[in-house]
Amino acid sequence: MKTELTPAQLGRLSDFSTCIVASAIETFRVRLPNTGFADSSVRCIFDEHPPIAGYAATARICTSNPPMEGRGYSYERTDWWNHILSIPSPRVVVIEDVDEPAGLGAFVGEVNASILLALGCGGLVTNGDVRDVDEVRSSGFQLFAGNVSVSHAYAHIFDFGGPVKVGGLIVRPGDLIHGDRNGVQTIPSEIASQVPGMAGKIMRRRQRLIGLCRSENFSIDALREAIEEPELQ
């Protein structure tokens, strides 16, 4: 069973960059260092937005061909909203575009971003496209996507609530997502409550090391000594 963090713990995660959090996760040795994050095919659309943290609500979409039934756009699948609300708040929607190649059309634009915000979602992670980026930016909703598209094409959900794969990262419903301008990662539930404290320690250690490098008293010997300190390993 996945353990939910308190609002205070989630808030602390949002104080740290994904890079600091990734370094903190590595110290617990619960997964390999080359896993747990989306690759560079999924990029942050709004660099200026702060880090977000939330629990994943998942879906899979097609955009290049119409659905077997219906008119062929997203608003008809209102049943997936119930899945979103079944996930603890705050939420991050993670959508896999299964087309090859992904991203002919965009599922989330201004309207869907507004709906997702109303449902307690702070952002979207997708290997597909997004659109209406200026309008979405002003809403505060964060986007991580493969690209930007002018059209929604035939974008439609064909299933939801199962595992998805975006940028090589497998995400399951309820996984804890953390993202910022550097990228997106999951935080293993078994260590999630300990990550903010470790991230704080790593940030302070980094600051001391960087301070030495910028100090008038800098020397290679002093740098070697600082690097060899056990707390910097």
The architecture of the domain spanning 7-189 is 3-Layer(bba) Sandwich (3.50)
Alpha helices in the chain (DSSP H): 7-13, 18-28, 80-86, 110-118, 133-139, 195-213, 220-228
Judge whether 170 and 10 are in contact, CB under 8 Å. Answer: no
pLDDT of residue 74: 56
pLDDT of residue 1: 47
The residues pairing with 192 across neighbouring beta strands, listed in sequence order, are none
Q: Give 101's contacts (C-beta < 8 A, 6+ positions apart).
A: none
Instruction: Count Cβ atoms within 10 A of the Cβ of residue 34 and give its class: 0-12 exposed, 13-18 middle, 19 or more buried.
Output: exposed
Domain limits of the chain? 7-189, 196-232
3-state secondary structure 26-40: HHHCCCCCCCCECCC
137-192: per-residue pLDDT in tens?
999 999 999 999 999 999 999 999 999 999 999 999 999 999 999 999 999 999 99
pLDDT of residue 183: 98
pTM given for the model: 0.92
Judge whether 124 and 116 are in contact, CB under 8 Å. Answer: yes
What residues in the chain have per-residue pLDDT under 70? 1-3, 69-76, 230-233
pLDDT of residue 78: 87
Judge whether 203 and 210 are in contact, CB under 8 Å. Answer: no
For the chain, give the number of residues: 233
